[in-house]
Amino acid sequence: MKNVLIISTSLRKNSNSHLLAEEFKKGAEEVGNSVEIVSLKDKNIAFCSGCFACQKIGRCVINDDAIEIVDKMEKADVIVWATPIYYYEMSGQMKTLIDRANALYAKDYKFREVYLLSVATDTEAYTPDGAIKGVQGWVDCFENATLAGTLFIGGVTDGGDIACNEGLKRAYELGKNV
């Protein structure tokens, strides 16, 4: 059994990326994993100040919701990012949390597998490439971790558009393979 943390980064109600995350969760739980989804909606997460104090004291000096989320990231065996694609890149709030997770670099983090789930209005195969590159850059900083899988579903715009999309089944199956 693995401890799976899914970080849903959309701030929109009934977001397509969050619905994708829910299906991944169902699949991962079905095979016996412990899964938690943390939504960044309604969270207060400030920008990293670049002070690097976290490297010395083991936690960020900015006291906001990122502290608790990063603690959960440290203890997870698997981290799953779920994001809408904006301008061919991950959401800004996702990038902000990645920056704030800098304290993990100097710690004995548990995660070995990282996944990226993404959605967009655009349907081109290259649409998630910027987000994939960004997540891969983050993963590359953690020598024990790998980007274990990505899933992109295009053609979804309004909240809930993904409800009848075959992509939900793909997310479920990806979750079962964690």
Q: At what angle do helices 92-100 and 66-75 cross, to 10 degrees?
A: 70
Q: What pLDDT, in 10s, does the model give residues 70-93?
A: 999 999 999 999 999 999 999 999
Give the bridge partners for 34, in sequence order. 3
CA 19 to chain centre: 13
Taking the model in full, what pTM does it have?
A: 0.97
Query: What was the pLDDT predicted at 68?
Result: 98
Query: What was the pLDDT predicted at 133?
Result: 98
Query: What was the pLDDT predicted at 119?
Result: 98
Q: How many domains does the chain have?
A: 1
Q: Residue 127's domain is classified under what CATH number?
A: 3.40.50.360
Q: Which domain holds residue 21?
A: 3-176
For residues 7 and 138, what is the distance between their CA atoms, to the nearest angstrom?
15
Q: What pLDDT, in 10s, does the model give residues 158-174?
A: 999 999 899 999 999 99
Regions of the chain short of the pLDDT cut 70: none
For residues 151 and 167, what is the distance between their CA atoms, to the nearest angstrom?
8
